[in-house]
Amino acid sequence: MAPAGDREGYWGPTTSTLDWCEENYAVTWYIAEFWNTVSNLIMILPPIFGAMQSVRSGLEKRYIASYLALTVVGMGSWCFHMTLKYEMQLLDELPMIYSCCIFVYCMFECFKMKKSVNYHLLFTLVLFSLIVTMVYLKVKEPIFHQVMYGMLVFTLVVRSIYIVTWVYPWLRGLGYTSLGVFLLGFLFWNIDNIFCDSLRNFRKKVPPVIGVTTQFHAWWHILTGLGSYLHILFSKEIKPVDSKGNQP
């Protein structure tokens, strides 16, 4: 996390419960964390085009919802890092939970016949989202959000490994690529948190063009955005199979 003493800018004092390692208002007076903000474009623009292509191709609504959910996460994260306001933080973090629930639904319904709905799973995920939302609004503890998000991601990882190991081994390349890219982003997220003081001191000593490459929370956005996009492509490749393991 960022040390205390960052400058103020257009959006006034920070009210969010988190303030990341990027120096506040260092690039422009109008954006609190410039690189952490613009790096969200990868979670906004490609999923919009993906949703549009899914509509044109007549794909199921769950895939369109996945793309749009990723876009909402990117837009919320943009607002959060631009302002460092608590309300915008919620606009970032809560959609992370909702979008992951959509991904979980898609992965557990990947073998279903077209246009059927698993209302039990849908109800469970909606209830989970509501409980997480209510508790998080009450406790305002980022660790709680991170644990709940981690549980959903872990569920996706286990389900994906099962699919590429036992059902569709020919999808291992795409499945493991999406997982590897996402985990690399998670590694950078941890480096940014643990070594923030060292990273800031390093950036003071090097030209800005080099210093920007150490904005590891921005890399977290880029890599997890790419990993999530690849995960949606992975889920789209999975088709129902019959009792003999053949696609209808």
Q: What is the pLDDT of residues 40-82, one digit of tens each?
A: 999 999 999 999 999 999 888 999 999 999 999 999 999 999 9
Q: What are 231-243's pLDDT values in tens digits?
A: 999 998 886 654 4
Please check if 145 is assigned to a binding site: no
Residue 121 near residue 108 (C-beta atoms within 8 A) = yes
Q: Is 231 annotated as a binding residue?
A: no
Angle between helices 142-162 and 119-139 (to 10 degrees): 160
Q: What is the pLDDT of residues 169-182, one digit of tens each?
A: 999 999 999 999 99
Return contacts of 114-120, CB within 8 angstroms, 24+ apart. 114/60, 114/240, 115/60
The answer on whether 33 is annotated among ligand-binding residues is: yes
Instruction: Please state the pTM of the whole predicted model.
Output: 0.90
Please indicate if the annotation marks 81 as binding a ligand: yes
Q: What is the largest CA-CA distance in the chain?
A: 64
Looking at residue 244, what is its pLDDT? 47
Is 221 one of the annotated binding-site residues?
Answer: yes
pLDDT of 242 reads 46
Query: Does residue 235 or residue 110 have the better pLDDT?
Result: 235
